[in-house]
Amino acid sequence: MGTPGGLVPAPGSGAACPSPLSPVSSALQLALGAALLNVRIPLLLGELVDVVARQAMRRAGDYLREARRPAMRLLSLYSLQGLLTFGYIVLLSRVGEQVAGSMRTALFSSLLRQDVAFFDATRTGQLVTRLTADVQEFKSSFKLVVSQGLRSATQIVGCFASLYLLSPKLTGLLLVVMPSLVGAGALVGSFLRGLSRQAQEQVAKATGVADEVLGNVRTVRAFAMEDRQLEVYCTEVQRSGQLNERLGVGIAVFQGLSNVVLNCIVLGTIFAGGALLAGEELSAGDLMSFLVASQTVQRSMANISVLFGQVVRGLSAGARVFEFMTLEPAVPLCGGARIPSHALRGCICFQGVSFSYPTRPGYQVLRDLSLTLPPGKTVAIVGPSGGGKSTVAALLERFYEPTQGTVTLDGCELGSLDPSWLRGQVIGFISQEPVLFGTTVMENIRFGKPGASDAEVYAAARRANADGFIRSFPEGYDTIVGERGVTLSGGQKQRIAIARALVKDPVVLILDEATSALDAESERVVQEALDRAAAGRTVLVIAHRLSTVQGADLIVVLDGGRVAETGTHAELLRRGGLYAELIRRQAQEQPEPR
């Protein structure tokens, strides 16, 4: 198991986590102390019982005087043991939280640095599970190993030594019976754990259904699927109920049987011990010590068998967490050259670019693509769906690296430039479905430039045609937009997204089907904002509706990952190729004006 001391705070996270090593060693010492006291306690109990037995036989002497010493020693041992237990549990829970906290921060920081391709291949739910459940599991196992594991192991060794010293014969008897019982118990236990895992997975499945339905409640409502979804959920819940009931019966049988077995061991020990007592090989106190020590051994062995399963689970959870924590992205988030602002013109060149997505390496999305976006000009990419238009934008953002060929900005290869500077300051990106965060309008716009002043935010909103509607809200710029911006209309969301892109005053602007999800009225307002935003910048427009790109300086028609033709709207129409065909098809698809 990885030591918690090996965890380093995430680079740049700023989370200065105190080293959990010293509390761990203190916790270890306290747990060891508590365990050793537990070994000592049965012997003292025996001593006290001997005093009581002597009194019972003699019915004379000063009982109080004789009993006081062992009783007081026992009492102080009990108190000391309580204190040590309190101490190590407090320390362990503090260490556990520190370990879990630094693991979560390090993992989250590592996840945020991963390539976009990593997120294509990994489900978000899986990542969230690693951040939550897996870290929790690892923490619990770590705490259990330190507390229970150490304590139980010490108690087993210590108490066995005491048992042997008290009565080698009785110990021999116990050694015959106990391992087979503990083995049987461990077997049943592992069967029950398997059942419990199944039940948990079923609960997770039911939760998954609820999560998906609640997360997409609008789609469910739109299709009037509430009853059907409820049925699906009910089936999953019933299945998990059945599994949990079966688990309950298993636990009941196990506990009932182990009660009988444990009591039989006590009975057997008293029975056999009685014979030794009669032969004066053992005192009453020794028998008492033996009974308590053997119970301690049984409890400790049971603990260790439970712990074993927990350790296996904890280790695999830890391995899952560390797997992502140590993953290095192909493209680091920052580092590399920056073009000084006075030299930055915004000329983009794709030269012989071929590309396949890492998740589908056999399928070439772009083939030998060459394309120039002159500074300050608007270039539109059109073409059939799936032709690779958005992929061009993704390569420009350096979400992926080209498989072949180069992409340059003002003559510098993108690979040599600082990605955080490129994305944070040079390129503004506006997509079809703008994603807003569940905070205020102000903060959403400031997301484009964290240090922006209020005045800069207002100016960006004005340029994006958004200032008017934002101010019409009772809370103005402090309006909370709701989870993923659900409280806003599509056009409003899009205009906030435009303001967010404009606030960083980018040299290059990418508009990926930015108006295609809007109704005609919203499209007009948003298009107006986009036209204004485009002025003076290099703009790459990816368009589905051809009507929005007729004014572009250059139109590139992309088909099957290749440039099929290029030219202005008039040139391409005249040529009568694929573009003219697309225009004709789109005109047919448009509903007749009434």
In angstroms, rounded to a whole number, what is the distance separating the alpha carbons of residues 51 and 33?
Answer: 27
For the bound state, the minimum distance from the C-beta of residue 580 to ligand ADP, rounded and expressed in Å, comes to: 19
For the bound state, the minimum distance from the C-beta of residue 121 to ligand ADP, rounded and expressed in Å, comes to: 9
* Closer residue to ligand ADP, CB minimum distance, 147 or 390: 390
In angstroms, rounded to a whole number, what is the distance separating the alpha carbons of residues 477 and 445?
Answer: 10
For the bound state, the minimum distance from the C-beta of residue 337 to ligand ADP, rounded and expressed in Å, comes to: 28
Residues 6+ apart with CB under 8 A from 407: 348, 349, 350, 351, 353, 395, 396, 413, 414
Hey, is 164 helix, strand or coil?
helix
Q: Which residues bind ligand ADP (CB under 6 A)?
A: 120, 357, 359-360, 365, 385-391
* Closer residue to ligand ADP, CB minimum distance, 233 or 357: 357
* Closer residue to ligand ADP, CB minimum distance, 388 or 491: 388
**562 phi/psi in degrees, rounded to 5:** -120, 155
* Closer residue to ligand ADP, CB minimum distance, 213 or 382: 382
* Closer residue to ligand ADP, CB minimum distance, 120 or 478: 120
Residues 6+ apart with CB under 8 A from 523: 491, 515, 548
Residues 6+ apart with CB under 8 A from 69: none
For the bound state, the minimum distance from the C-beta of residue 358 to ligand ADP, rounded and expressed in Å, comes to: 8
* Closer residue to ligand ADP, CB minimum distance, 103 or 540: 540
* Closer residue to ligand ADP, CB minimum distance, 163 or 539: 539
* CB distance 409 to 510 below 8 Å: no
* Closer residue to ligand ADP, CB minimum distance, 111 or 396: 396
In angstroms, rounded to a whole number, what is the distance separating the alpha carbons of residues 271 and 250?
Answer: 31
CA distances from 78 to 71, 85, 456 (A): 10, 10, 68
Closest CA to 239 of 211, 194, 206: 206
- CB burial string 263-294: b at 16+ within 10 A, e below: eebeeebeebbeebbeeeebbbbbbbbbbbbb
For the bound state, the minimum distance from the C-beta of residue 379 to ligand ADP, rounded and expressed in Å, comes to: 15
Residues 6+ apart with CB under 8 A from 104: 131, 135
For the bound state, the minimum distance from the C-beta of residue 334 to ligand ADP, rounded and expressed in Å, comes to: 23
For the bound state, the minimum distance from the C-beta of residue 380 to ligand ADP, rounded and expressed in Å, comes to: 13
Hey, is 175 helix, strand or coil?
helix
* CB distance 497 to 436 below 8 Å: yes
* CB distance 353 to 366 below 8 Å: yes
For the bound state, the minimum distance from the C-beta of residue 355 to ligand ADP, rounded and expressed in Å, comes to: 9
For the bound state, the minimum distance from the C-beta of residue 33 to ligand ADP, rounded and expressed in Å, comes to: 57
* Closer residue to ligand ADP, CB minimum distance, 14 or 363: 363
For the bound state, the minimum distance from the C-beta of residue 393 to ligand ADP, rounded and expressed in Å, comes to: 8
* Closer residue to ligand ADP, CB minimum distance, 359 or 416: 359
Number of residues assigned to the chain: 594
For the bound state, the minimum distance from the C-beta of residue 126 to ligand ADP, rounded and expressed in Å, comes to: 17
Number of Cβ within 10 Å of residue 589's Cβ equals: 6
In angstroms, rounded to a whole number, what is the distance separating the alpha carbons of residues 246 and 255?
Answer: 14
First to last CA, the chain: 73
* CB distance 457 to 477 below 8 Å: yes
* Closer residue to ligand ADP, CB minimum distance, 385 or 590: 385
